[in-house]
Amino acid sequence: MKMRVVKELRIYKEDTPQYFFYKEQHEKQTLDFVNTKQNIKLGREILTMQAALSMLDNFVDPSDPDVSCPNSFHAYQTAERIRKQFPSDYPLQICGLIHDIGKILFSFGEPNWAVVGDTFAVGCAFPESIVYFDTMKGNPDYGKFDSFGIYQPMCGVEMLKLSFGHDEYLYKVLQENQSSHKLSKKYQNIIRFHSFYPWHTGGDYQQFERESDADIKEDVLLFNQFDLYSKQDGDFVLTDEIKQYYDELLQEYFPEPLKW
């Protein structure tokens, strides 16, 4: 079932807006660029999670061939799919609601190629499972590293430097605001790795895996079923009752404003 969803929904053709987006992303997401972004200082904005979510009301992901609605709408779609199957797993529902909130980077002036799209590891060889792999040949780091690159075998996927975008950014926000929210590391990892398709779906980067990474992958694959399937919910209606439910849930898990 998981493979069927991926094949039906993740169809990437050439000469499309998605192709040209990924071509630029792949040419510019280098190890040097990622290193600079890992050192960014938070605090440009102090926002509640509710306020951050509302900033996505007018943002449509240019890298996604399956979504034409604002990202805030997709957030509620995903959370509601999770709630139907796991009505008591409140942290997973929260993940569904906030997993793309890092895309508020667009409001800080970041270009699309540093906000959205699948992620991949830098500082090691690029695997062919990366979408539009041929465009990776325009990356200055192409051919510079072997399969291990700057990393040690079995270092764990959490040690990898991933291409910078909304996942890495939101993960950093959660990590540096630990005292201001109640979301555990398990769910933070789902957010960080849900776009890391060459790993969790492509089967690459196994040379870096630790035994514990199997649990992370299982969590991400479960989550992604809801993320992907929800894009087919054409009859979804966002009601005031749904909004109120998630406003209360966000207030419980994120009672204080966060540094962004």
Please list, in sequence order, all residues whose beta carbon lies within 8 angstroms of the beta carbon of residue 52, skipping any fewer than 6 positions away. Answer: 98, 101, 104, 258, 260
Sorting pLDDT into bands at 50, 70 and 90, what band is 12? confident
pTM to 2 decimals?
0.91
pLDDT in tens, 180-235: 999 999 999 999 999 999 999 999 999 999 999 999 999 999 999 998 865 555 68
3-class secondary structure per residue, the chain: CHHHHHHHHCCCCCCCHHHHHHHHHHHHCCHHHHHHHHCCCCCCCEECHHHHHHHHHHCCCCCCCCCCCCHHHHHHHHHHHHHHHCCCCHHHHHHHHHCCHHHHHHHHCCCHHHCCCCCCEECCCCCCCCCCHHHHHHCCCCCCCCCCCCCCCCCCHHHCEECCCHHHHHHHHHHHCHHHCCCCHHHHHHHHHCCCHHHHCCCCCHHHCCCCHHHHHHHHHHHHHHHHHHHHCCCCCCCHHHHHHHHHHHHHHCCCCEEC
Tokens matching residue 169: 């950014």
Least confident window among 10-14, 15-19, 119-123? 10-14
Predicted confidence at residue 67, as pLDDT, reads 65
- From the centroid of its chain, how far is CA 12? 18
pLDDT in tens, 103-113: 999 999 999 99
